[in-house]
Structure 1
Amino acid sequence: MKGNPMSELFKVVLSHDAPAAYWGKADVSFEQQTATIHLKSAMPLRQIQMAARKLRNQGLSAVVLAGNGWDVDRQWSFYQGFVTAKGGFQVEWSGDAAQINELKQRAISASFVRQLTNDTPENLYPVKLASDTAAWLGSLAPEKVSYRIISGDELLQQQWIGIHAVGRGSTRSPALLELDYNPFDTDAPVSVALVGKGITFDSGGYSIKSSEGMLGMKADMGGAATVAGALGLAIQRGLKQRVKLYLCCAENLVSGNAYKLGDILTYKNGTTVEVVNTDAEGRLVLADGLQAASESGARFIIDAATLTGAAVMAVSSQYNAIFSPQPAVLALTQQKAAEVAENVWPLPLDPWHQDACPSAYADTANSRAVKGGGPGGASNAAGFLWRFVTPQADWLHIDLAAAFEDNASAMWAAGATTHGMLTIAQLLDSE
């Protein structure tokens, strides 16, 4: 990040030495215009991120990462702890040109993800989420990006039933963004299709949330922001594969026109779905996106969504839960996440999970009619989504338990974390 000369910035250095005795057990010490992070943990990245939060909380806003030991992972961990939703911060990177370029590209993409996710639901409505994403990705590769936005009743004409149903209760139209990144001069095959849940505000619909539970629901489009940020990072790195992006955008509100419990939706692939919980709306819109991704012929489909509280209960907000019918996909995802120091953990997904939400009136229900969807809720949601994925493609579903923090913690400021963006970008680079 450009800014003041380094001499005017507060220096942050790393040390494996213990602090002077008068600092006690402190892991950060100070001398004039320098803060020293004393690495004494088996988990240095976690310690560095927590130290960055401490420095930011003490009022520091502009720092330079100086001295030895600052590899890319350590600098990024510091940045993730230092950043806040209100902005007003500056970090000067260190290292060689390639390292600095990588960190700058990450910061550009992460800033976009945070800007979208932290925006107010009044400002970021479904069509704007789609158009802002298309404009940003287009600015990164003007000659390689094309797109269209399908909105309102046109969704019904195209048989995108789920997005229309969830979004019809709002006066602001639901939308599906179909974006094509093609770096070739020919109609090349699609390598990867990305699908993101873009619920710009989730009241729960008639299965209405509590006020406390609704407060952070501006972030329910975190999946859309995450896959878009990952594609943007991969494009900046020089992505040489054709990728299609599908963002399923809607506001889930209560009105005289909102979808209701007991409604039955008939999807494009013929699957009928009984709505037993209007707050299980994410899987209803993703079903459309996954069908569109399947139609693209992509050999690898990745979807990301802030989908279930059950995933948070299972893996906490320090991990993202991952699901796939293909063990090799899970292993690859774990490998790629480890390369960029992000945390993922696989949860069960067996064929019988497709039938875990039975209905007396339709092929399946969208949930179980019990609080939180009942036991195994995250796996049941993944099983529902599986119905809409072509068997010809590898498929990865990411339940973004770690995408947003309602309140500041020792690791994160309140707001979007971008956790998951780097993993998906690595998967794109591996194709």
Structure 2
Amino acid sequence: MSSTVAVFISTTPPTSTAWKASSAVILGDAGATIYVGEQEADNLRKIQKAGRQLDAMGVVAVSLQGAEWNLERQWAFAKGYSDTLSTNRIQWASDAEQLTSLQSTAAWVRRLINLPPNEIYPESLAQQIAAQVQQVGGAAVTVTTLVGDELLAQGWNGIHTVGRASKRPPVMAVIDYNPSQQVDAPIDAVLVGKGITFDSGGYSIKSSEGMVTMKCDMGGAATLAGALVHAIEQGLQKRVQLVICSAENLIDGNAYKLGDIITYKNGTTVEIVNTDAEGRLVLADGLLYAGETKAPLVIDAATLTGAAQVAVGTDYNALFSVDDALAEQTLQTAAQQHELLWRLPLNTWHQENCPSAVADTANSRPQKGGGSGGASNAAGFLLRFAPNQGQGWLHFDIAGAYHNSGTSMWATGATALGFRTIAATLLK
């Protein structure tokens, strides 16, 4: 008996009445068959569901058979046929080198996000990401890391404030991919990743139910790292820097409190009205750093707000930008990469939606979740720190980065959704 299950695609409707017409995959003597129609977007979703169904059946190895398996169909199947521990095996029908690269990067991103918080913390996150980028970038990659009170000496007060209560110190790491290896080479893009390796909510403490998955709050940093790795493997020849803004948001006598005021490097003062709105506080430092580089493209990614997930669900990521041309191009890129991305509102006046009587702005609104329009208000807060008044800046609120439980499309845990779109944006 074969150690793999053959999987076929057919455009001919099934004749057997033993299976429901809605079944994503039908088993027979020759293996498994996925019946597809005329709408390719629907086909890709059905193929991904078929992958999940075969995983749920306990199938541990498959062989994709036939000319109907193009690259995107195979990748859709692979996304569904990925258990949480990434142990399933696939024999590709074609495009093996490209698909193996995609699968390897996605599995690494997912594995990193799924790591338990006793294994992943600010310094180890920075080290693991740096090691992965160096593995593909070689001598073109250099790493600069600031740890604990070193952040204060450089003026990175947001990251330090959020992370100072933990015994594991906060970190800002700059991973510089410079293929020319010329010291004065211009920086083409800066990626700024939220790397909160565990988020208790601080004194605005989360419920136990809301805290149990907060190991995933470094998903932005992991997703951007995956994007950079994939872009390098695809031949990226631009200088790109990845900034990891990492901390554990915990509670002790030294933790930051409601009513505290942070003064940022650019002089902006921020009143803390919610210690669970910590991601934007660390990203602000990263965006200020990006501005210092004069890079024309700045992309940040973060599991930033529950409001974004309420708006777009967990199948999409949310995009914010005041640069309409860049936003439209990014949406087109996402469509080309078959990753679901939806633009949510952001105007310059969103900067004023978290007012403070004692500082330039508050970090949120006092109510749970930041109140109405919370995702846009969070993006508006970041806009205060984005270079060039937001031109050339994209903010990804990655609502689809993690699933608390398995769905018909995804296994429990991290998805790596978004890394292809960001990689393709870097390569353009």
TM-score tier by shorter-chain length is over 0.9
Instruction: Tell me the matched-pair count.
Output: 422
Q: Per the alignment, in what secondary structure is the counterpart of residue 395 of structure 2? A: strand
Cross-structure match for 1:30: 27
1:78-227 matches, within 5 Å, as 78-95=77-94, 99-186=95-182, 187-227=184-224
Instruction: Measure, in 2, the Cα distance between the counterparts of 1:426 and 1:59.
Output: 34
Contact 1:198-1:250 at 8 Å conserved across structures: yes
Contact 2:194-2:301 at 8 Å conserved across structures: yes
> Could you report, residue by residue, the CA deviation over 1:143-191 in whole angstroms, capped at 9, with x for unpaired residues?
1000111010000001100100000110000000101101114221111
Cross-structure match for 1:299: 296
Whether 2:253 is the aligned partner of 1:266: answer no
What is the one-letter code of the residue matched to 1:417?
T
Deviates more, 1:384-393 or 1:235-244: 384-393
Instruction: Measure, in 1, the Cα distance between the counterparts of 2:109 and 2:38.
Output: 30
The one of 7, 14, 18 equivalent to 1:12 is 7
Deviates more, 1:368-377 or 1:38-47: 38-47
Instruction: Measure, in 1, the Cα distance between the counterparts of 2:141 and 2:189.
Output: 15
1:65-76 matches, within 5 Å, as 65-76=64-75
What TM-score results when the alignment is normalised by the length of structure 2?
Answer: 0.97
Post-superposition shift, 1:7? Answer: 5.7
Cross-structure match for 1:394: 392
Query: Measured at CA, do residues 125 and 325 of structure 1 come closer, stay the same or move farther in structure 2, by a change above 3 Å?
Result: same
Query: Measured at CA, do residues 402 and 41 of structure 1 come closer, stay the same or move farther in structure 2, by a change above 3 Å?
Result: farther
Instruction: Measure, in 2, the Cα distance between the counterparts of 1:205 and 1:170.
Output: 11
1:360-379 matches, within 5 Å, as 360-379=357-376
Q: Structure 2: which 5+ residue stretches go unaligned?
A: none
Contact 2:86-2:107 at 8 Å conserved across structures: no
Instruction: Measure, in 1, the Cα distance between the counterparts of 2:75 and 2:383.
Output: 34
Q: Per the alignment, in what secondary structure is the counterpart of residue 133 of structure 1? A: helix
Deviates more, 1:198-207 or 1:13-22: 13-22
Cross-structure match for 1:3: none
> Could you report, residue by residue, the CA deviation over 1:297-332 in whole angstroms, capped at 9, with x for unpaired residues?
110000000000000111111111101111011111
Instruction: Measure, in 1, the Cα distance between the counterparts of 2:263 and 2:245.
Output: 17
Whether 2:89 is the aligned partner of 1:63: answer no
Instruction: Measure, in 2, the Cα distance between the counterparts of 1:213 and 1:379.
Output: 22
What is the one-letter code of the residue matched to 2:245?
C
What is the one-letter code of the residue matched to 2:194?
K
What is the one-letter code of the residue matched to 2:187?
V
Post-superposition shift, 1:67? Answer: 0.8
Deviates more, 1:229-238 or 1:181-190: 181-190
Contact 1:41-1:47 at 8 Å conserved across structures: no
Q: Per the alignment, in what secondary structure is the counterpart of residue 188 of structure 1? A: coil
Contact 1:126-1:173 at 8 Å conserved across structures: yes
Contact 1:227-1:424 at 8 Å conserved across structures: yes
What is the one-letter code of the residue matched to 1:359?
S
Query: Measured at CA, do residues 33 and 119 of structure 1 come closer, stay the same or move farther in structure 2, by a change above 3 Å?
Result: farther
Contact 2:194-2:219 at 8 Å conserved across structures: yes
Contact 1:13-1:68 at 8 Å conserved across structures: no
Identity of aligned residues (%): 53
Instruction: Measure, in 2, the Cα distance between the counterparts of 1:232 and 1:402.
Output: 20
Post-superposition shift, 1:33? Answer: 4.6
Cross-structure match for 1:408: 406
Structure 1 runs (4+) deviating above 2 angstroms are: 21-24
What TM-score results when the alignment is normalised by the length of structure 1?
Answer: 0.96
What is the one-letter code of the residue matched to 2:106?
A
Q: Per the alignment, in what secondary structure is the counterpart of residue 21 of structure 1? A: coil
What is the one-letter code of the residue matched to 2:347?
D
Post-superposition shift, 1:223? Answer: 0.1
Q: Structure 1: which 5+ residue stretches go unaligned?
A: 1-5
Instruction: Measure, in 2, the Cα distance between the counterparts of 1:250 and 1:114.
Output: 20
Cross-structure match for 2:380: 383
Q: Per the alignment, in what secondary structure is the counterpart of residue 375 of structure 1? A: coil
